[in-house]
Chains A and B, each alone.
Chain A
Amino acid sequence: GAGVSQSPRYKVAKRGQDVALRCDPISGHVSLFWYQQALGQGPEFLTYFQNEAQLDKSGLPSDRFFAERPEGSVSTLKIQRTQQEDSAVYLCASSLGVAGGRTGELFFGEGSRLTVL
């Protein structure tokens, strides 16, 4: 597609449920990022992939958060045993990475809004 696509756009989960959020990056983009945005705050970095390799997961808040990108394209962010503090908008972004000259321009999806009851 033309842009970064995320699904579902909205997800309501009961506390303790597992959720999976999907990201389809722009075709050919090497770098993929996940961010968490709490209400009224700026996005906070979660994790980074270069192709299928997860090179930086320093922002994942706990071992309940897991991300994968097995074929270097689509990525899934999984949250196990959701807690109320996990309620946020989860943003995915992609870029050309080194091939794009390290411009620093990330292309963002519209996000998946997770509400944990």
Chain B
Amino acid sequence: GNSVTQMEGPVTLSEEAFLTINCTYTATGYPSLFWYVQYPGEGLQLLLKATKADDKGSNKGFEATYRKETTSFHLEKGSVQVSDSAVYFCALSDWANFGNEKLTFGTGTRLTIIP
């Protein structure tokens, strides 16, 4: 079945540091890939997505590239801010196999940025 493995946390960085959160996936078909973020006290929200191989998703300075050859979708940001402190979830959906948009999530990575 489908699964997502992401870098375990927690991750603590200083402001303006470079961020990478690793994510790899296993899927039988050709999934779409997502990063969702959960800020303190809020619900999950979509950060970025990529729907096919070599696509790059980007939003709020974050980027991730859909790498089919390495089955990866690593999240990067060049200079993190305190406001980026949150829990980040990598996820995939496989509409073709499941007939709906249900998401398979990784376990989440808690990111804390220190001023």
Contacts and interface: CB of A to CB of B under 8 A. Distances in A.
Interface of A: 3-4, 31, 33, 40-45, 48, 50, 55-56, 91, 93, 95, 97, 102-111
B43 A110 contact: yes
Interface of B: 4, 32, 34, 36, 41-46, 49, 51, 89, 91, 93, 95, 98-108
Given A104-B51, A105-B49, A110-B43, A43 B98 contact: no
Given A104-B32, A111-B43, A33 B102 contact: yes
A82 to B, nearest CB: 23
Contacts of B4: 42
A43 B105 contact: yes
A4 B108 contact: no
A42 B32 contact: no
Given A42-B107, A91-B44, 15 more contacts: A41-B107, A43-B105, A48-B100, A50-B100, A55-B99, A56-B102, A91-B43, A93-B44, A103-B101, A104-B51, A104-B103, A107-B45, A109-B43, A110-B42, A111-B43
A42 to B, nearest CB: 3
Contacts of B99: 55-56
B16 to A, nearest CB: 28
Nearest to B102: A45
Contact of B44 (A40, A43, A44): A43
Contacts of A40: 107-108
B43 A45 contact: no
A105 B44 contact: no
A39 B51 CA distance: 29
Given A91-B43, A110-B42, A104 B105 contact: no
Nearest to B45: A108
Contacts of B43: 3-4, 91, 108-111
23 contacts: A33-B103, A41-B107, A42-B91, A42-B107, A42-B108, A43-B89, A45-B104, A55-B99, A56-B100, A91-B43, A91-B44, A93-B44, A95-B101, A97-B101, A104-B49, A104-B51, A104-B95, A105-B49, A108-B36, A108-B44, A110-B41, A110-B42, A111-B43
